């Protein structure tokens, strides 16, 4: 891969805006506060855009493109004067190393998904196209510690495998996608299926969709995210 070219700067700025908007959407929906991060691989390079360190950035509802920092695949900062990459930058970069199909990673501490992960209760495919994210079992990384070393990040990436989501036991979740839009929407969908699984468990034994029908949802889920992204962006105006 080549390094960032002058000609690609306009595209990089647009990608920074998507990262910032992804953070804002997650915060608007209560899936993040000042913690958690969205990242994006810069196409054609060994560089990754990621939200800067949470304690410095504050409320993710206030996230802006100028608070996005660039790192290489080792997690080393290559631009963003005055910014600091998040402690868990390797959680993202180690996934990018082994998954060339992944263009964006999201890490949140969303509550319902985290609780069901702790309980060892499968998040079931419960409703519509959103069920695609839970059509197959979600793997679990069995550590509650922050992922701050390359070894930890590599373990997470190995556990994730070819899936779209992973539980970080007593910590949170990660979702991966072929775009910022997809990774963010997958995080939203995961929490929605977790809520429905939780609600159904409160009154009985949830069944979830038939496996064959749940897997049919995947085709729709992998389609363009443009209209879905536009909807979630519209929530930022309310």
Contact 197, 172 (CB under 8 A): no
Distance CA 175, CA 76 (A): 22
Distance CA 216, CA 212 (A): 6
Closest CA to 170 of 89, 111, 121, 86: 111
Q: Give the CB-side neighbour count of residue 138, counting CA atoms within 13 A.
A: 33
Q: Give CA angle at 67 (72, 12), nearest 5°.
A: 55
Contact 187, 173 (CB under 8 A): yes
Q: Which of 3, 88, 191, 192 is catalytic?
A: 88
The owner of tokens 């560089």 is 47
Closest CA to 37 of 78, 94, 87: 87
Q: Is 7 a catalytic residue?
A: no
Residues assigned a catalytic role: 88
């Amino acid at each position: 891969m080549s390094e960032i070219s002058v000609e690609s700067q306009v595209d990089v700025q647009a990608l920074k805006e998507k990262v910032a908007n992804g953070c804002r959407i997650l915060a608007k929906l209560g899936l993040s506060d000042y913690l958690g991060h969205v990242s994006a691989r810069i196409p054609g390079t060994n560089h990754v855009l990621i939200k800067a360190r949470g304690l410095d950035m504050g409320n993710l509802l206030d996230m802006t493109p100028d608070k996005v920092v660039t790192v290489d695949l080792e997690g080393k900062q290559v631009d963003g004067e005055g910014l600091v990459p998040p402690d868990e930058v390797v959680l993202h970069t180690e996934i990018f190393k082994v998954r060339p199909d992944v263009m964006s990673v999201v890490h949140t501490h969303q509550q319902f998904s985290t609780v069901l992960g702790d309980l060892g209760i499968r998040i079931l495919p419960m409703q519509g196209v959103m069920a695609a994210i839970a059509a197959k079992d979600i793997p679990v990384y069995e550590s509650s510690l922050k992922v701050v070393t390359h070894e930890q990040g590599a373990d997470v990436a190995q556990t994730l495998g070819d899936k779209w989501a992973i539980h970080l036991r007593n910590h949170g979740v990660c979702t991966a996608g072929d775009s910022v839009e997809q990774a963010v929407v997958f995080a939203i969908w995961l929490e929605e299926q977790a809520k429905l699984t939780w609600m159904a468990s409160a009154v009985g034994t949830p069944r979830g969709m038939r496996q064959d029908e749940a897997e049919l949802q995947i085709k729709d889920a992998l389609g363009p995210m443009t209209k879905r992204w536009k909807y979630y962006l519209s929530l930022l105006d309310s």
